[in-house]
C-alpha cells in the first residue's frame, strides 16, 4: 500500500506558494509543476485538531468545508487569536492595509508587521497598500474607523474574490485605482489613534506573483474531495489558497483548504476524479429596476 500523507495547508513565501505536510515537510510549487494526488480508498475526512493537539473524538468533517476542524476544535483554535478578535495584549506592532480583489471589492484589515505581505498573499489580494503601523489596539480602532466612515468591509466572500479574478483590468495602475482613492480619503479622516503612524500610498501588485497574467481562465472549481478520488494537473497559477491546474477537463481551481483532514496518496495520470462545479460568474450590475 502506498504511503499516505496529510496536508496541513498552503503557505506563501518570498519564493511563491508552498504546500505544508504534517511532520514539517514542504513542497515548493512552481509554474508548470505537476500537482497530483489521490485520496485513500475507504477513508473519511477527519478533524485536524487545534493548537498542535489531535481531536479527541477524531470527528468527521464535511468534505465541502474549507475549515478542517470540528466545532469544538475550531472554537479552541480561535481562542487567543487576532483574527477572531480574542487577543488584545500582543505588544508587537501591527499594520493596517487596504486590499483590492476586483472591481468594487476592497477590504480593510490588519496584520502583524513581522509577517510582511504574507497575509495579503494568503487572502488572494490582487493589489494592496499599507495605511499605517502601530500597536494592535490602535490598528483595530483604525480598522473600525474606516469600516464606519468609508463603508469598507473587513471581509469579502472567497467565491466573490475567485469570480473577480477572471476579469481583472490589464494594468497595475487600473488595478490600484480604487485603493488610491480610498487611501487618500482615509488619511483625511479625523479620529486616527495618535499611536498609529500613517503610511504613504505605495501599491503592491500581485498579478505576476500569482501567475495570473499569462494563465488561461479557469472553467471550473473542485467542489470537494472524496475517498478513492484523484486530482492531477499542471500548475499554471495560484492565488490565496487556490491552485489553478491545467487538467484533462480544462483549467480547474483547487482550493487547498479542502485538503487537510484527508489521507492523500500518490497519483500518476493526468485526471480529475472528484466532484467539479462550474466557476460562478460575477453578477453584473443591475442597470434598472425592471
For residue range 185-231, list pLDDT tens digits in order: 999 999 899 999 999 999 999 999 999 998 999 999 999 999 999 99
**Do 67 and 132 meet the contact criterion of CB atoms below 8 Å apart?**
no
Strands 34-39 and 230-239, sheet pairing: antiparallel
For residue range 26-79, list pLDDT tens digits in order: 999 999 999 999 999 998 999 999 988 999 999 999 999 999 999 999 999 887
Q: Which residues contact 199 (CB under 8 A, 6 or more apart)?
A: 95, 129, 130, 131, 132, 133
What are the grid coordinates assigned to 142, written together? Answer: 483604525
Distance (Å, whole) CA 95 – CA 142 = 10
CA-to-CA dists, residue 79 to 36, 50, 87, 137, 261, angstroms: 35, 10, 8, 17, 21
| Model pTM score | 0.91
Angle at 54 between CA 48 and CA 59, to 5 degrees: 60
Residue 205, Cα to own-chain centre: how many angstroms? 16
Amino acid at each position: 500500500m502506498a504511503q499516505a500523507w496529510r496536508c496541513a495547508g498552503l503557505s506563501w513565501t518570498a519564493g511563491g506558494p508552498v504546500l505544508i505536510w504534517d511532520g514539517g515537510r514542504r513542497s515548493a510549487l512552481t509554474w508548470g509543476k505537476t500537482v497530483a494526488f489521490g485520496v485513500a480508498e475507504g477513508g473519511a475526512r477527519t478533524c485536524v485538531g487545534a493548537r498542535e493537539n489531535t481531536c479527541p473524538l477524531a470527528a468527521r468533517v464535511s468534505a465541502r468545508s474549507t475549515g478542517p476542524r470540528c466545532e469544538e476544535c475550531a472554537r479552541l483554535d480561535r481562542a487567543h487569536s487576532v483574527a477572531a478578535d480574542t487577543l488584545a495584549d500582543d505588544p508587537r506592532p501591527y499594520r493596517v492595509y487596504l486590499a483590492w480583489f476586483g472591481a468594487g471589492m476592497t477590504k480593510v484589515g490588519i496584520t502583524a508587521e513581522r509577517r510582511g505581505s504574507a497575509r495579503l498573499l494568503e487572502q488572494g489580494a490582487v493589489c494592496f497598500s499599507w495605511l499605517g503601523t502601530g500597536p494592535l489596539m490602535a490598528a483595530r480602532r483604525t480598522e473600525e474607523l474606516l469600516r464606519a466612515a468609508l463603508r469598507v468591509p473587513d471581509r469579502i466572500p472567497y467565491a466573490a474574490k475567485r469570480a473577480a479574478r477572471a476579469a481583472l483590468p490589464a494594468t497595475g495602475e487600473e488595478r490600484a485605482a480604487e485603493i488610491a482613492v480610498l487611501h487618500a480619503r482615509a488619511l483625511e479622516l479625523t479620529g486616527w489613534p495618535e499611536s498609529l503612524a500613517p503610511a504613504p500610498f505605495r501599491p503592491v501588485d500581485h498579478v505576476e506573483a500569482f501567475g495570473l497574467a499569462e494563465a488561461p481562465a479557469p472553467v471550473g472549481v473542485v467542489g470537494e474531495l472524496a475517498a478513492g478520488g484523484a486530482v492531477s494537473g499542471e500548475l499554471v497559477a495560484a492565488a490565496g489558497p487556490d491552485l489553478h491546474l491545467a487538467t484533462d477537463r480544462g483549467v480547474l481551481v483547487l482550493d487547498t483548504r479542502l485538503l487537510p483532514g484527508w489521507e492523500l496518496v500518490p497519483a500518476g495520470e493526468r485526471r480529475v476524479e472528484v466532484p467539479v462545479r462550474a466557476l460562478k460568474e460575477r453578477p453584473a450590475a443591475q442597470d434598472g429596476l425592471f
